[in-house]
Structure 1
Amino acid sequence: MNPVSTISGKAYPFGLKNVDTDVIIPAAWLKTISRTGLGKGAFEALRKEPDNLFDSAPYAGSPILIAGDNFGCGSSREHAAWALADMGITAVIAPSFSDIFSGNAFKNGLLTVVLPQEAVDRLLQVVQENPDLPDPIHIDLENQVMTTPFQDRFTFEIDPFRKHCLLNGLDEIGITLASSDAISAYEAKLAAEKPWLAPHMI
């Protein structure tokens, strides 16, 4: 997992409320266990429209998605986080998220930022009124601050453990490997104290 420290760039001014995981990635795409290639199916129903937001020139390829309240509700499919990441999105901003989606996003290196509706509305305004601005939003995870070129400044909260993992690019495997010395020391001690267990230790 790649470390996440700062994220700057354009943003999709999506803003819709109660967007469920079936909208993010339809069930037909759930046959794969691969994390790659799902970006093509992200928001598939919406992208069938010729002038859709996600393929429009001013916003295509944006690393940030500005969503509405209760983003990621519905099923527990982790494919939703995979699809967003494969689409190039590294941060989602919304007034609230489904707990399961938020957890899946974190495990896949996606930053979910909760801001009050007023702040989200202001960010939508900045992005929509300045489509040619290359970096309308800057997110500083270390200091938990989001800014715009127009002197907007919004602070946000994040679980300290999630912040540590994102800053250091640690997924569940990485967290375990970070403790490999302690694990090895424990296993060596256990083998010395209870040698009859050694043949069963992997």
Structure 2
Amino acid sequence: MNNGKIFNGNTAWFSSSVSQKVKNLWKRNGGQMSPLDSAMIIFSQDFTALDTLQIFSSEAYLDEHMAVIHPMYISDSVTKGSKTVLMQYKLPPEEVYQATKDKQVYKWDRNSDLKNEQQQVRTGRQTCRRAKLCLDENTGNESEGAKTRRRQGPSYTDSENDSSVTMTTERQQSAVVPREVPEDMCHIDDIPKITGVLEEFIPGKNGCEVFKK
């Protein structure tokens, strides 16, 4: 049950883009207001707000000593009855958001989850269409003689064709120039490609650890 002290001991600074209603919700649940230079959490819900743009261009932000959080973190935590993961509500600069919104799910972007699901459905449909198209093309290009042999089973001619294909493949493979890569380096073709949705780096989660220098 919500005891009204979810954010007890936490201080926050709020951008002008955050409504008074959200600020009151923060205070009712134990949070305190603080100046920007001493706040534990910085809230903004508009990356184009003047005060937020100033934060994005500040030395502290560029040196990764500061993060901006969307205030939906407050309402979601109150609804849950306990603090949710703070950095899942990180608000990046607009150019970063535009470059990553199709691959990363932002908790404060209600359309983000829907777009991710729609993209997965589209990708699945495109894969099925490509597979069907290849099957149709291969079937259409198959000669009548090949269809007859496939129905009747292997024959002497098929064996000759198989031998010819094997010899051709061996000649092609022998012509391939081997890759010369130093022992202490990895060839770019051997590096696995990133697929799926990008996830936030959350210290202490998913096997991630943070060490102080």
Normalized per residue, which structure has more helix? 2
Max radius of gyration: which structure?
Answer: 2
Higher strand share: 1
Whether the TM-score (by the shorter chain) exceeds 0.5 is no
TM-score, scaled to structure 1: 0.24
